[in-house]
Amino acid sequence: MNNVTDVTSRSDGRRSPAGKWHHDRVSSTEPAPVPTTWLTLPELVETLGEPLGRVRRLIDERHLVGSKRNGAFAVPSVFLQGDRPLPLLRGTVIALADAGFTDDETIDWLLAPEETIGRAPIEALRDGHKSEVRRVARTLA
């Protein structure tokens, strides 16, 4: 399990979701992303108590989003609430995909502090502020 430190650059040259240019790493002047551990598929199977097929379906249906950036495919643990996917995550992931975000960009945006929200979007979602997060996500297209 790895901590989040890398920020993926946009391949199309547009500004990053946080409105700043990102290169390979978060600069020391920018707030750090929300720390999280990354759960591999076997760890998700164990944590969720679901068979692998069901876990894959949760990912395919956008209830969870993950990345291969650290080797094996993994999902940030902050995307879970107990032993279930965070209920408010799916609509936000879909809104970001509709705005043209890749899965890596979606993860980076959710974990990085967002000026217009005043904190990382995942923190706002975990506190039940879905409307505010999705409003900002829709403006990123």
The type of residue at 33 is P
Q: What pLDDT is stored for residue 32 in this prediction?
A: 77
Instruction: Tell me if the pTM is above 0.85.
Output: no
Select the more confidently predicted residue: 140 or 126. 126
What angle do helix axes 41-48 and 52-60 make, rounded to 10 degrees? Answer: 100
Q: For 20-71, write each residue's pLDDT tens digit.
A: 323 333 344 567 789 999 999 999 999 999 999 999 999 999 999 999 987 8
Q: What pLDDT is stored for residue 70 in this prediction?
A: 79
* Residue 140's pLDDT band (cuts 50, 70, 90): confident
Q: Is the pLDDT of residue 107 over 90?
A: yes
Q: Which residues of 23-48 are buried (b: 16+ CB within 10 A; e: fewer)?
A: eeebeeeeeebbebebbbbebbbebb
